[in-house]
Chains A and B, each alone.
Chain A
């Protein structure tokens, strides 16, 4: 009979006490894990999506809103900018701009954003087609993989867009049927949850609303250079520099000072966001740590009480030939089983809670938070938890292995 078996039997002798203890540890650990996973995934999500963009050019307004709108696709646009204002930046021979991506935002389908882009967008984010093709005509759609699978949309299906982003503007349907022309491969990024359309289609949709007169452009899907010839508006222009130098650093400032366009550096804005949310998550973390400490104090008290009840059994093992080391190992094993099951329960619980709340509160759509995401830090949680569990067992173990058997069994 191994000590593990005896330790397990002893724990199972009081199943309700065992369950209470592992639930206590489990709750505390799950809170820590949830905070950890949210922080980790949110910053990864933001950094991953912001890393491709050095500067956003858009209508003047809140810079953070602009980042959330144009990169994260969470918030509403700050307004529109006219192409004439950004014309020079679309020039492929611009001295410091490597790439520029015009974007039009404002419509949606069932809560998923329809984003007007040029074909350069797919290149920029390395998006590949899974089925069908990229659009080559007006009113043709390219769907992100999640949109396609959620609404079971296939090539050739039609749908109608709503004016406005759900929850932000009133819904109002456009008349034109949009045809699904291509479906993207899963990229794991925001793009899985977006619907793409050409910028010219965007204009068509909206100008129909205004004067019901189709405005013709020579080509159906416009490239960056062709856009320059139209005096229309877009939501923003995403910019990537050729390299980081003084000119590119001053570029944004000079735009902000000299034009009606706002230049936003996503990295700076995200840092500001972290500072805003950082203290909140630190507070939650603190609560998690306090809960964990309480959980391990409870283990300590529980073990100590259990030892009082079991002092005769401990004396019995010593009388039967078991050494102090045997007693110490037995109790450490009991503490280990308790902490280990509790922590594992907490890890599982954390993932399950996050999984369901991610679905319920659309955390995945907006912040890239998912329940089935695992990170290496969870192993640290396990190890630190086991060490805390060990510390909680040390005192009871010392007391038990130094127990005076003569005194104990004289009181039988």
Chain B
């Protein structure tokens, strides 16, 4: 469902980074591993359609997103791709519940509070629904970020360094949580990370240099 071909991007004035081709099928969990500065995050942004590559194509469900125009791309991304950023970011002025309602409505869906409560209880956030996001603990904020990425049942979840700030126990918990949630939502999961601990936990993976 996700496949890239011949991706490359200009870096600085002269340097061009080329990326190996990636193929991820539905319900797969895929790890893009590499040291800091190798272009992992850039690759993730190309997959998310946040930047256009110099060459190559990104196909998600047979849609080449490198050809989409800005507003279509925004909508396609919102509908089909859930993104977990390196650090949790929310709309500060809104509550936990309102942040998720906004996520539903941004792609033109009607708000569905039942779906949200369902998701919040799966991630043990149900009693935080009416709090402001900045009052949540680090772990709660990270889980809320997953909740937001999953709320619209996207086909693909992209996660950027989800474990960089976690100890071994929590790393295991978070990776299992991500895998399980994606499985339940029938979504493919792509993680980029420099975290060596993750390497053994994924069967499908590439290593960038």
Q: Are A and B physically bound partners?
A: yes
Q: B71 near A412 (CB under 8 angstroms)?
A: no
Q: How many A-B residue pairs have CB under 8 A?
A: 81
A412 to B89, CA, bound (A): 9
* Contact present for B45 and A322 (CB under 8 Å): no
Binds A, one of B13-21, B25-33, B95-103: B95-103
CB A376 to nearest CB in B, in angstroms, measures 38
Chain B interface residues toward A at CB < 8 A: 41-42, 45, 48, 50-51, 70-71, 74-75, 77-79, 83, 85-87, 89-94, 98, 101-103, 105-108, 111, 148
Within 8 A of B (CB), among A278-324: 312-313, 315-324
> Which of A7-15, A32-40, A392-400 lies on the face that meets chain B?
A7-15
A159 CB–B CB distance under 8 Å = no
List chain A residues, Cβ under 8 A from B86. 409, 412
State which of A6, A313, A315, A410 has its C-beta within 8 Å of the C-beta of B41.
Answer: A410
Interface range for A:
20 to 34
Complex CA distance for A409 and B85, rounded to whole angstroms:
8
Question: With the chains together, A317 CA to B107 CA distance in Å?
Answer: 10
Q: Would you give the shortest CB distance from B51 to chain A, in whole angstroms?
A: 4
> Across the two chains, which residue of chain B brings its CB closest to A316?
B89
Please name the residue on chain A nearest to B87 by beta carbon: A412
User: Are B91 and A313 in touch, CB under 8 angstroms?
Assistant: yes
Say whether A155 faces chain B, with CB atoms less than 8 Å apart: no
Query: Does A372 touch B at the CB level, under 8 Å?
Result: no
Q: Does A326 lie at the interface of the complex (its beta carbon under 8 Å from any beta carbon of B)?
A: yes
Residue B91 contacts which of A6, A319, A406 (CB distance < 8 angstroms)?
A: A6
Extra contacts besides A6-B93, A316-B89, A406-B42 (13): CB < 8 Å: A6-B94, A10-B93, A12-B93, A13-B92, A313-B90, A319-B85, A320-B78, A321-B78, A322-B106, A323-B71, A323-B74, A410-B45, A412-B89
Q: Spell out A's residues near B (CB within 8 Å).
A: 1, 6, 9-10, 12-13, 312-313, 315-326, 405-406, 409-410, 412
Q: Is the CB of A9 within 8 A of B78?
A: no
Chain A proximity of B166: nearest CB distance (Å): 17
- The 4 closest A-B CB pairs, nearest first, are A321-B78, A13-B93, A321-B107, A9-B93
B75: chain A residues at CB < 8 Å are 321, 323
Say whether A326 contacts B70, CB under 8 Å. Answer: no
Known: A1-B105, A406-B51, A409-B50. A319 touches B77 (CB 8 A): yes
Distance of A33 from chain B, by nearest CB (Å): 32
- Show 23 A/B contacts (Cβ-Cβ < 8 Å), sorted by A: A1-B101, A1-B105, A6-B91, A6-B102, A9-B91, A9-B98, A10-B91, A318-B74, A319-B50, A319-B77, A320-B102, A321-B75, A321-B77, A321-B78, A321-B108, A323-B74, A324-B70, A324-B71, A406-B42, A409-B45, A409-B89, A410-B45, A412-B87
Known contacts being A6-B91, A325-B71, is A405 close to B85, with CB within 8 Å?
A: no
Bound: A320/B94 CA distance, A: 15
Q: Hey, which chain B residues are within 8 Å of A322, CB to CB?
A: 74, 78, 106
Q: Which residues of B contact A9 (CB under 8 A)?
A: 91, 93-94, 98
Given B79, B87, B101, B106, which contacts A317 in the complex, CB threshold below 8 Å?
Answer: B106
On whether the beta carbons of A313 and B107 are closer than 8 Å, the reply is no
Inter-subunit contact B103/A320 (CB<8 Å): yes
B91 contacts A316, C-beta separation under 8 Å: yes
> Chain B nearest CB: distance from A132 CB in Å?
65
